[in-house]
Amino acid sequence: MLAVGLGALALWQLAELFGQLPRLRSSGEVRKKAATGAVKSVAKSAVYTFLAVTAARFAGGSGQSSSDQQQSTVAGVFGWPAGRFLVGVAALVVIGVGVHHVHKGVTKHFLAEIDTAQASTGQRRVIERLGQVGYPAKGVALAVVGALLGWAAITFDPEKAGGLDGAMHALLDAPFGAALLTVVALGIAAFGAFCFFRARFPERT
Residue among 201, 198, 194 nearest 134 (CA):
194
Q: How far apart are CA 36 and CA 123, in angstroms?
A: 30
CA Rg, the chain, in Å?
Answer: 19
Q: Provide DSSP, 109-160.
A: GGGGGB--TTS-HHHHHHHHHHHHHHHHHHHHHHHHHHHHHHHHHHHT-GGG
Q: How far apart are CA 138 and CA 136, in angstroms?
A: 5
Q: What's at 34, amino acid-wise?
A: A
Q: Please give the pLDDT value at position 184.
A: 92
Q: Residue 114: CA atoms inside 13 Å, Cβ hemisphere, count?
A: 23
Whole-structure pTM value:
0.75
Q: What angle do CA 52, 10, 139 make, to 5 degrees?
A: 80
Sign of CA dihedral 46, 110, 179, 192: negative
Q: How far apart are CA 2 and CA 53, in angstroms?
A: 10
Q: What's at 164, amino acid-wise?
A: L
Q: Please give the pLDDT value at position 72.
A: 76
Which residues lie closer than 8 Å to 202 by C-beta, 6 or more apart? 114, 115
- Tally Cβ neighbours within 10 Å of residue 38: 18
Q: What is the pLDDT of residues 98-113, one digit of tens each?
A: 999 999 999 999 998 8
Q: In the chain, what are the domain boundaries? A: 1-63, 66-205
Contact assessment for residue 176 and residue 87, using Cβ atoms and an 8 Å cutoff: no
**Which residues in the chain come in under a pLDDT of 70?**
63-70, 204-205
Q: Please give the pLDDT value at position 64.
A: 63
Q: What is the pLDDT of residues 44-67, one digit of tens each?
A: 888 888 888 878 888 887 766 666
- Tally Cβ neighbours within 10 Å of residue 185: 14
Contact assessment for residue 163 and residue 66, using Cβ atoms and an 8 Å cutoff: yes
